[in-house]
Each structure stands twice: as structure tokens, then as C-alpha cells.
Amino acid sequence: MKWLVLVNPKAGRRPSQVVRVRRVLSEIGVEATVEQVDGPEEMRKMAVASAVTHDLVVVGGDGTVSLVVDALMRAAPARMPVIGILPGGSGCDLLRTFGIPGVLEGAARHLLGDQTYRIDVGRLDGAWGRRHFVNVAQTGAGAAAAETAPRLPRSLGNARYPIAFAARLPGFPVADVVVGGGRGHRGKALAVIMANAQFFAGGWNVAPKAMLVDGELDVQIIDARKRQAPAIVPRIVKGTHLSLPQVHRMSLPSLTVSTSVPWPVEVDGDFIGMTPFDARVIPGAIELKI
């Protein structure tokens, strides 16, 4: 494979170092062109422009991977590149689903060989437009936390999300939620989670039954009261929350979500807008190097 490696220098607690990426890849015998990218828009443009001639390695967190996948899905190039991932952000939870090490040196070895894995991609459509995602999308209290977390100091690392969740929860409005699709759901809720993969928020096992190849989203409606949320969060971190009466789980290829008051929506850690929205899966859209 002819790899073009795109490094997001602003991902994570410290700027990613192009020199380190080049050294690691050289040491294990991966031939690649390594480029530091100046911001999200350049990341999008370079991914699309090089898709026909190169396979891509994204160095960054889940948000960076999501950005590249969204750009490619929108552009629909004549050749869709294989995508490899090297951790360089505050967390790359997509790698956890495959058991790939969360450190650069360990993850780089997965670029060797020819084995790839074709995965589904999620898509949300709302007043903001269209946004594709790879890992997890959500609306509600968790999305409010994802909106706040990037404003906290990077030195907090993976602690930024739980700190932001604790800060946003007390004032967050519980809403009447309508989820359309399958048997649907109607009632008061605190969050709606749509998972393509299993982990988010730096290792929370939010969707232990999610699969990246089944053509469906793992949908969970959390109807807990706010005072119950602190006790539920540790169960979500461990992936043992699905048996709770406050968790309603469905697997759906498409759905609609509306709320009685506007709720924030986030995909792969990035705030994108407010409810309502439509969601669906595009089966087997991306080939991932594992």
C-alpha cells in the first residue's frame, strides 16, 4: 500500500510530532509520506485530493478520523482509499473496538500486511446539514458534555468528558423524546445514543453489543432521572448498563429523533447542532486497515 499519513498537530494533550511518526514508521518498515496538516479544512481537502492515488493514515483522535471519513463520503471519489489510524488525540476509541493499542508504536504495526476490514458508516441529517460518523453519535446530556469538554484544559486528558458531564448535568433539560424507527420509542429521556462501534469518551464501553458490520446502529434511550445518572455512569463505563430498566436498546438501520426542547447533538466528540435529526447507516462504506 502507498500510504499518505496526515497528522493533526492539535489533537490531544500535546501536539503530535511528525518526526516521531516518521521514525516509528521507518523502524517497522512502513513506507509512507508523512504530512502535517494545518487545520480541519486542509485535512478534508488533502484526504479527498489524494484518495485516488494513496491510501490514508489518519494520526489523531476519533474526531480527526470522523472528519476524514465525512470528507470522503461527501466527495465520493472515484476510488475510496483504505484508511489506517494511528492514535494521536486525547482518545481514539474506535481503535479500542478492534483491540488495537492506544499508543503510536503499538498501533503502527497494524499498518503492516494486507488485512483490511470493511465497516459501516453512520449519517445524521438535520438543520445543520449532513454529517457522517464512524464511532458514536448522541444527543442529550452526554452531547452537552461533549460540547463543553473541548473548552477544558488539555492537561486533563480523558478526564475532560466526565468533568464536563458533571458540570452540565444539573442544568440540562429532560425532554419528551420521540424516536421513530423499528418499534420506536416515546417518553421522557435524558439521552439518546447511536453507536456504530463500542467505546466512547476515552474508554466508556457504551455499546458492548454494537457491531461495525451489521448495517445497523446500536440505539439506546436513557430515561433515567438526573439524580440517578451518577449511579448509572459507572455501569456505562464498564458496559454493564444494558440490563438497567432505564436503558431501552434497539438495533436500527435508520431512525428519526425529535425532542420537546432542543438538545445538542454530537458525533465522534464534535458538536454539530441541535435536534431534530434523521439517522441512518451506510453499510460497508469504508475499508479500514487493521
What CATH number is associated with residue 249?
2.60.200.40
Q: Are 141 and 208 found together in one domain?
A: yes
3-class SS at 122? Answer: strand
Domain count of the fold of the chain? 2
- 183/265 same-domain check: yes
Residues 59, 100, single domain; the answer is yes
Q: What is the pLDDT of residue 186?
A: 95
For residue 148, being part of any structural domain is answered with yes
* Omega of the bond leading into 150 within 30 degrees of 0 (cis): no
Distance (Å, rounded) from C-alpha 264 to C-alpha 274? 4
pLDDT of amino acid 1: 63
Report DSSP state, residue 204.
B
pLDDT at 129: 97
Same domain? For 136 and 221 the reply is yes
Residues 259 and 182 in one domain: yes
Q: Which among 83, 114, 145 is the end of a domain?
A: 114
- Co-location of 145 and 101 in the same domain: no
Q: Are 246 and 257 in contact (CB under 8 A)?
A: no
In a domain, 94, yes or no: yes
Determine what percent of the chain falls in helix, strand and coil, rounding each to the nearest 5.
30, 35, 35
- Cα–Cα distance, 152 to 171 (Å, whole number): 18
- The CATH number of whichever domain residue 67 belongs to comes to 3.40.50.10330
**Residue 106, domain extent:** 3-114
> Are 211 and 89 in the same domain?
no
Q: What is the sign of the dihedral through the CA atoms of 255, 259, 265 and 268?
A: negative
Q: Where are the alpha helices (DSSP H) in 76-140?
A: 93-97, 104-108
Q: 48-106 pLDDT, tens per residue?
A: 999 999 999 999 989 999 999 999 999 999 999 999 999 975 568 999 999 998 889 89
| Beta strands 3-7 and 32-36, pairing class | parallel
Q: pLDDT digits over 115-150, tens only?
A: 999 999 999 999 999 999 999 999 999 999 999 998
Residues 154 and 265 in one domain: yes
Please, what sign has the CA dihedral across residues 277, 286, 239, 183? positive
249 and 156 co-located in one domain? yes
Q: Single out the residue in 114, 141, 162 at which a domain terminates.
A: 114
Note the pLDDT tens digit of each residue in 150-203.
899 988 888 899 999 999 999 999 999 999 998 889 999 999 999 999 999 989
Residue 290 counted as domain residue: no
Is there a single domain that holds both residue 110 and residue 145?
no
Average pLDDT, the chain: 93
